[in-house]
Amino acid sequence: MSSTPTWVQLIYLACAVCFILALKGLSSPKHARAGNLLGAVGAIVAVVTVFFAADINHLVPILIAIAVGTVIGVIGARKVLMTQMPQLVALFNGVGGLAAAVVALLELSDRVGHGGEPKFDLAMTAFTILVGTVSFAGSMLTFAKLQELMTSRPVLFPGLPVLFGLAIIGALALAVFVVTDPMVWIGIALGIVGLALGVLLVLPVGGADVPIVISLLNAFTGLTVAAGGYVLGNTVLLVGGTLVGASGTILTKLMAAAMGRSVVNIMFGALKGGSTLGAGTVSDRPVRSAGPEDIAILLEYASKVIVVPGYGLAVAQAQHTLRELVDVLTARGVAVDYAIHPVAGRMPGHMNVLLAEAQVPYEQLKEMDDINSQFKQTDVVLVVGANDVVNPAAKTTPGAPIYGMPILNADEANQIVFLKRSMRPGFAGIENELLFDPKTTLLFGDAKDSLGKLLNAVKAL
């Protein structure tokens, strides 16, 4: 770093502080918007600084690439629905890993033949190529699963564990060759093996486990950026990548804990039948259903209501109608809270962001650990588009894909109302016995349409 001007180092330090403060801001919904903007400002300043800090070749193609990327980013941010946000995260994460791997390959080609390269620098180069390509291939596969371009169920075939083990051995051998005898073709071969490893890593993962894998791959990308920053001698890449790697790792562990399983079990559980498989069959068992007028009476005479939002709410884009319904109930003296499960939706914070978009007061959003004890004193639980996060099988059915996962104790309430499109099971692919409980009433239909009818019925009382 001695060749980097002092003023550049100071700017990079300021950008790194922006990233740290941004991460802190993102830990709270109240400060998330400001944190996001602060992180974006830090990234923009870091990129602009590069143009003034060094002589840059091929300036025009670089500017064109930045312009194209900016246009794609702006269009994506404005057009992508909240329901598709996990897929967008997977794409961005994969592209980041591939970019780090390509930069590492270019650095390797520049250094070949010069001799005297520090072994640790070459080790970091090999690490960046391998993990970056693993992250890219794995992220593309998670995108395909979530976008339903392929089955969301685990994909298994005879010999997969053996092939995966051979790929790991081959990757390690090629990484050693990069360090001991650096050549471009070895780096390319390492990248190809990394792509195969990424595919083999994600194929056995299915159902509700896919978002957790996205978080893990995000941590991988962060580590590759950090390693690339070391190779390039760039402080801001080193700090930013380390932050992403560390936060992604912590998030992955927290999500796994919320599922009641280990990361290893999530990644490889399907090999012995332990994954959340998804894509279950539609039940034909009889249930008790009612119209919006009957549900409105239940809500009107309740003193305490808890709303459990899920992915179905996001799909229907019904958050604004739900907030209006809650506002009407609150104005009539009904105490209403939202129970937020850590893995509700398709990514951490999915429900928080969705409800914040509808300007739901943050004070009404209650985390699982804070609200679970209140269900016994609750008159009505309104489950909107959620399923697995209230499924008692997590507590009562050993061998179920979600067994051991902490859930919201909706079954302890006096009355449970489910808003569902059909009897199709949740992402875990198993029946929810709570649907057949005598205390449970179902209101079938699109969540936005059902909530609209329910809102009108409540207003008419």
Enclosing H/E stretch for 417:
strand 415-420
Taking residue 255's Cβ as centre, other Cβ atoms within 10 Å add up to: 24
**388 catalytic residue (yes or no):** yes
Amino acid code (one letter) for 249: T
Q: Rounded to whole angstroms, how far apart are CA atoms 380 and 410?
A: 9
341, 342, 396 from 309: Cα distances, Å:
9, 12, 23
Q: Rounded to whole angstroms, how far apart are CA atoms 121 and 53?
A: 23
Dihedrals phi, psi of 213, to nearest 5 degrees: -65, -35
- Following DSSP, what letter does each residue of 359-374 receive, concatenated? T--GGGEEEHHHHGGG
3-state helix, strand, coil in the chain (%, to 5): 65, 5, 30
Copy the structure tokens of residue 277. 């498989």
Q: Rounded to whole angstroms, how far apart are CA atoms 440 and 381?
A: 9
Cα-only R_g, the chain: 25
Q: Rounded to whole angstroms, how far apart are CA atoms 17 and 212?
A: 28
Dihedrals phi, psi of 149, to nearest 5 degrees: -80, -15
What does the buried/exposed string (b/e) look like for 153-191 if buried means 16 or more CB atoms within 10 Å of the residue's CB?
bbbeeeeeeeebeebeebbeebbebbbeebebebbebbb
Q: Rounded to whole angstroms, how far apart are CA atoms 202 and 270?
A: 11
Q: Rounded to whole angstroms, how far apart are CA atoms 294 and 252?
A: 42
Q: What angle do CA 333, 389, 78 make, to 5 degrees?
A: 80
Query: In which residue are the tokens 């919904």 written?
Result: 29
The secondary structure of residue 392, as a DSSP letter, is T
Q: Rounded to whole angstroms, how far apart are CA atoms 282 and 262?
A: 29
Dihedrals phi, psi of 398, to nearest 5 degrees: -60, 140
Bridge-based pairing state of the strands 335-340 and 365-367: parallel
Given 121, 209, 388, 411, the catalytic residue = 388
Catalytic residue annotation: 388
